Structure 1
């Protein structure tokens, strides 16, 4: 994950509220903004420039890039030709996302636009469209991709299709963005349907930071964008604490941590041992660092898939190892169960492959 982003929809709210949201996001290190011209109705090109340019300038002053969702019919309506994108330069936009495209050659030529705008392609099609564009020698320094979001419940992408699309795009060495969405009441997107906004259907009702952790775990997503408005300050802060490029895990604690357990869980670097077992992913180095810590036996129940276990004093030289259980096991008085993954995040266990680093989020 390279960057975090938000979305804004000026046609649906006040400039003051949007500016406050930009301020909140910038404070927590967000650097991207998605917006949409597909949903803007009844405005001329000059009116759009007059309305949107001040917000774009405001975003730039706070170190944020802004890309607008468009399609060929929208460009035609605005009088914008594919080979003259000066309208977006006049808006002070940084790029455009083509929700729908042309035939391949056109998109490749658009990346060579003299305005220096980013051309972002729809990453969700999975039909060879992007490979076709790349066969026409685009300027890849101005070419990226971004998945769709889906306002209708049960219409989001399947994980299988998502992974196929991403594998195809990564083979072309292009960056990929994807959307997550808040399920809080009162959130909205560009359209009147508000059943949550996300790229993956399985994410629709999950907490925002859980969606982000699952996307990071895929290892193919460069940018994560919040699709709907408005994420809370608490949600923005939680996302800002995630570590990009590393598997982020957040167990539900089952007991108060002993000082030694706290150090093992939160204060030590972790990676999965290379000689991985079918039963657990082991982080062994804490046992060396905290060899002199006392860890008393507590909560030594049966071990279930997704449990987080720290070995206690009864395990001698192995005391202090952190295990993440991948296959059920009997209870062991030498193993303290300190917590477990939420059921909806058990898919993260697939990402516990040999040598992969991971962090534990509070």
Structure 2
């Protein structure tokens, strides 16, 4: 699922509502917002503004997770044992910015409001195991990583994977944040982009999302800062979220049949893998009687090239390969029909034995 973040009491109300409508138009299904700091005397204004935004999102059938901390509970005189205040605002879940003893969290999952409890999964601790030891309602627990406004403070990749694998193995629905390059603000005065992974901070928003999808560990991808542009939201909505989808540039002279082989099939890697190529072999069965003459031959192929076996390749005619490392094109038996865009080559190692993948033609006007 895709999501957006809103901070309605920091921007004009109507702009926030329009942003929610835009996200809903492109199929975004959840909203992240927070109630972490309220200036004294501003409580009523903030709460009314936030309530209007939340209920507008709910009218679009979007989930809304509200980030909270203990100070707000005290300031608003709300008990952890009665969450009806947040239910009445329209929230479908709450995220606790601070942890408790595990018992409190478990009790929240049985609160009569049926609010989900979102926990922070950017910590490699035994926090969740502790909560689980108090026999919570696991169906109402979801997990989400943090985002990091300060440059060079986002999570390292290996740590991110370790935490995500741990929580995914415990059966949690997982979420993380990506960074819009058009958005101007987040929940705090200072922000130099908002993302979970530090390596994502300057990447295109779709490439951030593709990387997360490739890991197979993240269920929901949320744009952390507001307001992302319509172009960014549309681009995210067009991604496949269940497999890697490579953007490709076709070679000059590639035939319509060759483009069909590339674009119109569900590809998957063979289970008996090798270090030279990713082999989509079942696709060839459809083209056993097709005419695939020699075309755009190269003496050597390089990483990221996409090849299709031509008429001279016997039983391998029609087989599609993605080249993983440079090698000779013996006998000109493979037509080099396309190449993966350079910025996506780092996704190749995510194609494991039996991994599914697809292609789409890159928009070279971007």
**Common fold: TM-score over 0.5:** yes
**Length-normalised TM-score, structure 1:** 0.92
Give the superposition deviation at 1:344: 4.3
- In structure 2, do the counterparts of structure 1 residues 79 and 344 end up closer, same or farther at CA, with 3 Å as the change threshold? farther
- In structure 2, do the counterparts of structure 1 residues 132 and 316 end up closer, same or farther at CA, with 3 Å as the change threshold? same
- In structure 2, do the counterparts of structure 1 residues 352 and 43 end up closer, same or farther at CA, with 3 Å as the change threshold? farther
Aligned pairs for 1:234-273 within 5 A: 234-255=231-252, 257-273=254-270
SS in 2 for 1:22: helix
Aligned position for 1:329:
327
Give the superposition deviation at 1:294: 2.9
- Once residues 266 and 190 of structure 1 are traced to their aligned partners in structure 2, the CA distance between those partners, rounded to angstroms, is 41
Can you give the 5+ residue segments of structure 1 that lack an aligned partner in the other structure? none
Give the superposition deviation at 1:204: 1.3
- Once residues 315 and 187 of structure 1 are traced to their aligned partners in structure 2, the CA distance between those partners, rounded to angstroms, is 54
- Once residues 135 and 267 of structure 1 are traced to their aligned partners in structure 2, the CA distance between those partners, rounded to angstroms, is 48
Give the superposition deviation at 1:78: 2.5
- In structure 2, do the counterparts of structure 1 residues 45 and 109 end up closer, same or farther at CA, with 3 Å as the change threshold? farther
SS in 2 for 1:273: coil
**Length-normalised TM-score, structure 2:** 0.91
CA contact (8 A) 1:258 1:295 kept: no
SS in 1 for 2:300: coil
Q: Where in structure 1 do 4 or more consecutive aligned residues deviate above 6 Å?
A: none
Can you give the 5+ residue segments of structure 2 that lack an aligned partner in the other structure? 362-366
Aligned position for 2:354:
355
SS in 2 for 1:251: strand
CA contact (8 A) 1:39 1:191 kept: no
Aligned pairs for 1:101-116 within 5 A: 101-116=99-114
Among 190, 196, 202, the alignment partner of 2:187 is 190
More displaced stretch, 143-152 vs 17-26: 17-26
CA contact (8 A) 2:299 2:329 kept: yes
Task: Please give the per-residue CA displacement for 1:109-156, whole angstroms capped at 9, x wherever unaligned.
Answer: 111111111110001011111111111111112110100011111111
Aligned position for 1:96:
94
For this pair of structures, how many residues does the alignment match?
359
Among 188, 203, 211, the alignment partner of 2:200 is 203
Aligned pairs for 1:311-330 within 5 A: 311-330=309-328
Among 57, 82, 90, the alignment partner of 2:80 is 82
SS in 1 for 2:196: coil
Give the superposition deviation at 1:256: 5.5
Q: Name the Cα RMSD after superposition.
A: 2.0
- Once residues 130 and 43 of structure 1 are traced to their aligned partners in structure 2, the CA distance between those partners, rounded to angstroms, is 36
Task: Please give the per-residue CA displacement for 1:161-196, whole angstroms capped at 9, x wherever unaligned.
Answer: 111111211221111101111123x53222222322
Aligned position for 2:158:
160
- Once residues 357 and 316 of structure 1 are traced to their aligned partners in structure 2, the CA distance between those partners, rounded to angstroms, is 25
Give the superposition deviation at 1:39: 4.8
- In structure 2, do the counterparts of structure 1 residues 117 and 295 end up closer, same or farther at CA, with 3 Å as the change threshold? farther
- In structure 2, do the counterparts of structure 1 residues 357 and 183 end up closer, same or farther at CA, with 3 Å as the change threshold? same
- In structure 2, do the counterparts of structure 1 residues 42 and 251 end up closer, same or farther at CA, with 3 Å as the change threshold? farther
Give the superposition deviation at 1:198: 1.0
Among 288, 291, 294, the alignment partner of 2:292 is 294
